[in-house]
A = this chain, B = another copy of it.
Amino acid sequence: MSQEADMTNPEPQLWERRSSEPGEDFKIFKVRRDVCRHPRTGEDFDRVVLEAADWVTVLPVTPEGEVLMVRQFRFGVSEVTIEVPAGLVDEGEEPLAAAIRELREETGYTSERWTSLGRTFGNPAFLSNRCHLFMASDARLTHPRDLDPGEDISFQTVPLETARDWVLGGQIEHPTTIAALARVIPLCEPRSS
């Protein structure tokens, strides 16, 4: 690796948390107010952290090689989005168990072949959690769905190439869906240079 090593580029250090105060609990996350000390200057800064349960994102692939996607109204953006099944890890639950549960609840599909596709941060700037990515191979419709009263989700299977086209065309904008798809198919366009 070609590190730019000079005096203006020192390696970042950990910041000391001087104090930490719980804020409002919004259920999907809890506010925490920290005061953190800059390790180089000693100056204190207020920082807001959202403590959140981990998430899971599941890329289900059918025996025909199609990916199972879900559509739902998302309250953050007030739009119907295209994503793969995803959800929260319950307290005490293993990420894989949450992935298996969310896939079945949202779509009725199950799989006997699960593979980890790694994990991502939620957003390391202000969220404490991670998102665990899984592929569910040979996924088949085997059960009735079990949607919460506050959910309204449809599902459809599309060829992996269509999913790729939807990332490139902007129909898929869900970051962890993109991160999971990227681990299974190339999402880059041919470049001229």
A residues touching B (Cβ–Cβ < 8 Å)? 1-4, 8-15, 17, 24, 26-29, 31, 34, 36, 38-41, 43, 45, 47-50, 64, 66, 71-81, 83, 118-128, 130-131, 137, 141, 144-145, 149-150, 152-159, 162, 167-168, 170, 173-176, 178-179, 181-189, 191, 193
Contacts and interface: CB of A to CB of B under 8 A. Distances in A.
B12 A153 contact: yes
14 contacts: A1-B157, A1-B159, A2-B64, A4-B155, A12-B80, A38-B150, A39-B152, A74-B125, A77-B127, A121-B173, A121-B174, A122-B123, A124-B173, A179-B182
Nearest to A50: B76
Nearest to A2: B157
B170 A121 contact: no
B173 A130 contact: yes
A191 to B, nearest CB: 7
B47 A14 contact: no
